[in-house]
Copies of this chain bind each other. A is one copy, B any other.
Amino acid sequence: MPYFDHNATTPLLPEAREAWLRASDEAWANPSSPYRLSARAHRLLDTARERVAAHLGVAPGEIVFTAGATEANNAVIRWAAQVIPAGACAVVSATEHPSVLAPAREVFGARLVELPVAPDGRCELQRLDAAAAGFVAVMAANNETGVLGPVDDIDARCRASGAWYLCDASQWIGRLPARGLAPHAFVVGCAHKFGGPKGAGILRVPPAARAAGFRAQRGGEQEGGLRAGTENYAAIASMVAALEWTGAQAASIESRVAWRSRFIENVSRGVPGIVVNSGDAPCLWNTVSLRMPAHDNTRWVVRLDKLGFEVSTGSACATGSSAPSHVLAAMGLTAAEARRTARISSGWETTERDWQLLAEAIANVWAQLEAEGAGGNVVRI
């Protein structure tokens, strides 16, 4: 099954499935209860935390397990709105995920500054006035285009100016090495983007934020007091199994970068005039945002689906919406250009052959749509 929408979600890795079952069968007790069955679950939870901390190169106490990236992004932003100085602004990249942009617009209101991006999707870092900002959010890798953010540079600037930095690394963690990523920032990861289960995520809380009173959900004393709620150890164990499995694949990244480049060459030959929206910007090895020379993306996507290839018209979060992608709009695409864009995102199980077949399928769909001519736009979708 050549599935090319891993930025929406990924199938569960066998290792992650097995870990979930083992935890559900053997370590289902509440880790906070006062008997041996729970003590065992508590020890396993501690070990999971140590393993995630090792993956990120931080201390175990900085890792908070969440139910996903949306929860984490909302929690950090709500807290930042309470603690940044009254005169400070909040700077958020115009291409952030809706789970950053929507809460930021709500809580910061007129204090929100959207950081523009260049036509290739790269954040216009020279426009970031970290000194005026109390809070900055620039993602590690964009979910629609795969464009990488200047994470370390922003981390250093925020560190120097004292601004809080939220680094949404939902599309990075589990795909690229994450050790030392944004060492002073809140860092967000999401299990179901890398073969883990849905409903599990990672929030790295920088020690300074803990000291400044950061808390996500309130209630019980779980997660070192930072996030109340019964710990979902089965999902956590499953996520850790997936994370470590992906870590072991890192040696193949170079090949995967080459497969992506060859796909772009192939599809450019098959469909004259096709454009990669991110141009030459540094990108994830798995993501291509492709703009077709003609025909709405819904038509391409449906045809490709019939041929057995799942690709997306854009972010799954926005599928319910008829508005054009805010990411592509920020890059300067017209609404019509955005409607001709498809998002392609591979996974660890994707092969070089899958990429080749996808390029051929896209060329075939292009030929079909062109053969049907303008009339085809009317009589079929």
Q: Which chain A residues have a beta carbon within 8 Å of chain B's beta carbons?
A: 3, 5, 8-12, 17, 20-21, 24-25, 28-30, 32-38, 67-71, 73-74, 78, 97-100, 102-103, 106, 192, 197-200, 217-222, 225, 228-235, 298, 301-302, 305, 310-313, 315-321
**Could you name 23 residue pairs across A and B whose Cβ atoms are closer than 8 Å?**
A9-B29, A17-B21, A32-B320, A33-B316, A34-B313, A35-B305, A35-B310, A35-B312, A36-B305, A67-B67, A67-B71, A67-B199, A70-B220, A70-B230, A71-B217, A74-B219, A74-B228, A78-B78, A100-B219, A102-B219, A199-B200, A220-B317, A221-B318
Residue of B nearest to A10 (CB): B28
Among A5, A35, A200, A228, chain B packs the most CB atoms within 10 A around the CB of A35
Which residues of the partner chain B approach A298 to less than 8 Å between Cβ atoms?
34
Q: Is the CB of A228 within 8 A of B34?
A: no
Which residues of the partner chain B approach A231 to less than 8 Å between Cβ atoms?
198
Given A200-B199, A235-B199: A301 and B220 interface contact (C-beta under 8 Å) = no
Q: Is the CB of A218 within 8 A of B74?
A: yes
Which residues of the partner chain B approach A102 to less than 8 Å between Cβ atoms?
218-219, 228
A217 to B73, CA, bound (A): 9
Which residues of the partner chain B approach A100 to less than 8 Å between Cβ atoms?
219
Q: Is the CB of B24 within 8 A of A12?
A: yes
A37 to B5, CA, bound (A): 11
Q: Which of B5, B78, B217, B315 contacts A99 (CB 8 A)?
A: B217
A17 to B28, CA, bound (A): 12
- Chain B min CB distance to A110 (Å): 17
Given A67-B71, A220-B318: A8 and B36 interface contact (C-beta under 8 Å) = no
Q: Is the CB of A70 within 8 A of B228?
A: yes
Which residues of the partner chain B approach A24 to less than 8 Å between Cβ atoms?
12, 17, 20, 197
A312 to B99, CA, bound (A): 38
Q: Is the CB of A219 within 8 A of B70?
A: yes
Which residues of the partner chain B approach A32 to less than 8 Å between Cβ atoms?
8, 316-317, 319-320
- Chain B min CB distance to A177 (Å): 24
Q: Is the CB of A99 within 8 A of B320?
A: no
Which residues of the partner chain B approach A33 to less than 8 Å between Cβ atoms?
5, 8-9, 310, 312, 316, 319
Which residues of the partner chain B approach A97 to less than 8 Å between Cβ atoms?
219
- Chain B min CB distance to A321 (Å): 6
